[in-house]
Amino acid sequence: MKKNIAVIGYGGMGGWHVEHLLKSDVANLAGIFDIKEERQQAARDKGIHAYDSLEQLLDDPSVDIVTVATPNDVHREIAVKALAAGKNVISEKPVTVSSEDLQAMIDAANQYGKLFTVHQNRRWDADFLAMKEIYESGVLGDVFSIESRVHGSRGIPGDWRGKKEFGGGMMLDWGVHLIDQILQMVKEKIVSIYAVMDHITNYEVDDGFKMNITFQSGKVVHVEVGTSNFINLPRWYMQGTNGTAIIYDWDLSGKIVCCENWDEKDVIPVKTAAGLTKTMAPRKDDTIVEHSVPHPTPDVHDFYRNVCKAVDGLEPQLITHPQMMRVMKVMEACFESDRLHQVVPFKE
């Protein structure tokens, strides 16, 4: 039987959820609630039921699950109310703005015996899944460096995302995605974190950041988000002891280059403007082999399929409480590193 899902917050991401729920094979859209009357009317104009209040929505016994797609600072308050009302809860990312808030939400879910998860939709990005497949295949040998970047040139959107009181900033907006992806890919303990926040166009919240995660094996992952980049660097760059992989953009353009013969003979030096170098000379074609990047075809509807099955106890939820807390702790470590201007240890 399909689950009835109501969406709280009918803005950008709330609209995204509504659009996908209307096409879902496992859920029905019960309706929406937004504190702005014009957004309620916008829903009604499309034939979508709009609740008059949050209380009316939570009192509706037909609603099985609520999706919270409001500004970040009120996720905790709404989620706890919904859980107490007997609803299963999906929170948009970031799940909330602090580990303290998150623990309160987890405690409420445990107290009332309801499912609580977060919408980490970027786990279904094809570029991430392609790079994860490359990483897990071993084709690059022992991977020692991963770089993950998202670049834009429009600054922070001119809404609540630029305000600290609402939980704005790029770390909580895009950082939560990229960190979650890395932690899904690299199954190791974290040793330390170093981060620098950018304030190019916004001094209240970060409008970009650069961070390094050092894992127990010595592997270093660089994660970067920028909103003042008029030339973008590649989306992914991964180095291993036997090769390198690059994905330029979300369209999966890229390649894998692996070494066939380390003992190359008769290296021809490269002439640079001020001298010669053998070290940086390109390899001959017969010492390397090029592979294409995998092209996975993920289905974003799998998120709601999993949630609905998990509610019925048919399968475990994909995005778990410990995973949510680990991402939150990493983000908090980033803010602490930036404040102290130094590397901070990460205990787990």
Predicted structure pTM score: 0.96
Q: Are 241 and 142 spatial neighbours (Cβ–Cβ below 8 Å)?
A: yes
What pLDDT is recorded for position 280? Answer: 87
Query: Is 208's pLDDT higher than 80?
Result: yes
Encode pLDDT of 279-331 as tens digits: 888 888 888 999 999 999 999 999 999 999 999 999 999 999 999 999 999 99
**pLDDT confidence of 144, banded at 50, 70, 90?**
very high
Positive or negative: CA dihedral 11, 17, 23, 27: negative
Q: Are 168 and 310 spatial neighbours (Cβ–Cβ below 8 Å)?
A: no
**pLDDT confidence of 278, banded at 50, 70, 90?**
confident
Encode pLDDT of 21-32 as tens digits: 999 999 999 999
What pLDDT is recorded for position 181? Answer: 99
Domain 123-253+293-298+329-345 belongs to what topology? Dihydrodipicolinate Reductase; domain 2 (3.30.360)
Mean pLDDT (the chain, rounded): 96
Residues of the chain with CATH 3.40.50.720: 3-119
Query: What average pLDDT score do residues 78-83 get?
Result: 99
Query: Domain 3-119, what architecture?
Result: 3-Layer(aba) Sandwich (3.40)
What pLDDT is recorded for position 112? Answer: 99
What pLDDT is recorded for position 159? Answer: 82
- The lowest-confidence range among 16-20, 262-266, 334-338 is 262-266
**pLDDT confidence of 125, banded at 50, 70, 90?**
very high
Query: Is 266's pLDDT higher than 80?
Result: no
- Map tokens 């002891």 to a residue: 241
Encode pLDDT of 334-348 as tens digits: 999 999 999 999 999
Report the distance separating Cα 4 and Cα 61, nearest Å: 10
- The lowest-confidence range among 119-128, 202-211, 266-275 is 266-275
Phi, psi of 321 (to 5 degrees): -60, -45
